[in-house]
Structure 1
Amino acid sequence: MADSDNTMTLPFVTRRQVLAGTIAATTTWTLEGSASAGDAGRGYAPGDPALALWREWQATCKLTEQLCRKQQRLETRLVESVGFPGVTVRLSKSKDVTVHSIEALNEVLGKGSAMAALREKAEADFAAHQARWDAAAEETGYTAALRAEREAGKRAQDLMEALSTTPSTTLAGVAGKLDAVLREGEAWEESSEFPWPQIRSALNDLVRMMQEKLHE
């Protein structure tokens, strides 16, 4: 049986992991409770712009996660029914190579005249498979779901940037900023290494202090 060398290069194969919600339920409750308390003497001003941005960022992250799961379900069905766009090229009697992009195909076959006929056929086969994938993706709603996920993710990034440049006027706003940084950072990095334990500790301290004030 011929060997098969699978070269996966499609951008949707590598997916950013779903944003992990590391904030405890008590933290969310405390931030919302602080925002609704309306007691400026305790440092909880309901008009804190940073806290408002945190709320919108959190809602957008939840939406992004929902859309991500939806498009992943649709993508799984597409893979099962159509298969990732790709083409298998026989280089010799004992070796087949499967690639999933024109770039990868050019790397395998090169651009010399010796492989021109094989490369032309492989490109045509790949284009036909890609067309089947695109048509099925549109029909099943995968294309729309993927676009919506990307738009929501971009919105979450924009809100994160806005949050980093918006002054907090309350402890709850500061806690919201730390929470956003922690959750975003832990979705990409090893959460047991610096600075995530330190940020988590500072957030826990703020939450504890706000809980104490809420019960005064």
Structure 2
Amino acid sequence: MADSENSRTLPAITRREENFENGAIEKLPYVIDRRNLLPVAARFLSARIADPNGPRRASGPTPVREMWPRWYARHKQLLEATRFRQKLEAEMLEQAGGFPVAELQIVGSNQPVVVHSFAELNRLTQVDADQLSRSRTELRQRRKQWKKADKHLGYSDAVTLEQELARHLGILGRVMWITRPSCLIEITAKFHCLIVTHDPGLKLEEAPWPELRTMLRDLMRMEERAGETRACRSSLEAS
């Protein structure tokens, strides 16, 4: 089936420039599957929402079609911030020699106990005094190395930025979900936001996620046909 979610066929997708003045907007690929669903949806939404022939804003609350571009821009910022934080984290681990933690081997446990603070160490009543002393020294030294690397690389600032972007993105997404859509493209935008937020890897198999991914594709196809109808009607009226 051409539109099967598990289809292994992936046609080439060209990134043509949208020509809004002539009413020509990039066509959807014949096959939309897991590997291209979200990027295709993002390009499709960006083109349709920016279309000057689309619906005009009425007075009242901010519509979904104005929220989605802001949300998607913040989403891309978060992805970039996460990649940067991960890069810095790898450099931090190399410079500091590991995370600022201490490991203790407790009798009767097959796995070492990892502690992140002195308070956690003090709660380990089953550990003898000598081992606690060595672990405090280890934790203190690892923290010192971590802080030194952090001062050089700015890792804490990168973590804070990533968390702030994630918080703002969550707020934008929740507001968009509770905003009533006024047209098909706004429903499509809400579906895209929902799936990106909860199933970004398109891996969830339990209901309703496979069905929601199918519905996102269906909405894009419906909007594409509706757009073609509008363009044809406008052409006839202008002739």
Query: If the length of structure 2 is used for normalisation, what is the TM-score?
Result: 0.67
What is the RMSD computed on CA atoms of the aligned residues? 3.0
> In the alignment, what sits opposite 2:77?
63
Partner of residue 156, structure 1: 169
User: Which has the larger displacement, 205-214 or 68-77?
Assistant: 205-214
Q: 1-side partners of 2:163 and 2:66: how far apart? A: 23
Aligned twin of 1:209? 222
Q: Percent identity between the aligned chains?
A: 21
Other structure's SS at 1:193 match = coil
Report the CA distance between 1:143 and its aligned residue: 1.1
**8 Å Cα contact 2:85-2:159 kept in structure 1:** yes
Query: Which one-letter code corresponds to 1:169 in the other structure?
Result: S
How far residue 46 of structure 1 moved from its aligned partner, in angstroms, is: 5.4
Q: Quote the offset at 1:89 in angstroms.
A: 4.4
Letter in 2 for 1:147: T
**CA separation of 1:22/1:128 partners in 2, compared to 1, >3 Å: closer, same or farther?**
farther
Q: Which amino acid is 1:149 matched to? A: E
What SS class does the counterpart of residue 23 from structure 1 fall into? helix
Q: How far does the alpha carbon of each residue in 1:144-196 deviate from its partner, in whole angstroms, 9 at most, with x for none?
A: 11111111111111111111121212211110000111111213884232111
SS at match of 1:215: helix
Structure 1 residue aligned with 2:38, among 23, 28, 40? 23
Structure in which a larger fraction of residues adopt strand: 1
Flag the structure with higher helix content: 1
Using CA pairs under 8 Å that are at least 6 residues apart, name the structure with larger relative contact order, 1 or 2: 1
Q: Aligned partners of 1:63 and 1:152: how far apart in 2?
A: 8
* Structure-1-length-normalised TM-score: 0.74
1:13 is matched with none
The correspondence of residues 1-216 of structure 1 with structure 2, limited to 5 A, is: 22-25=37-40, 27-39=41-53, 44-45=55-56, 49-82=63-96, 83-89=98-104, 97=112, 99-102=114-117, 105=121, 110-111=124-125, 115-187=128-200, 190-216=203-229
> Is contact 1:67-1:145 (8 Å) kept?
yes
Go from structure 1 to structure 2 and tell me whether the alpha carbon gap of 1:186 and 1:203 turns closer, same or farther (over 3 Å shift): same
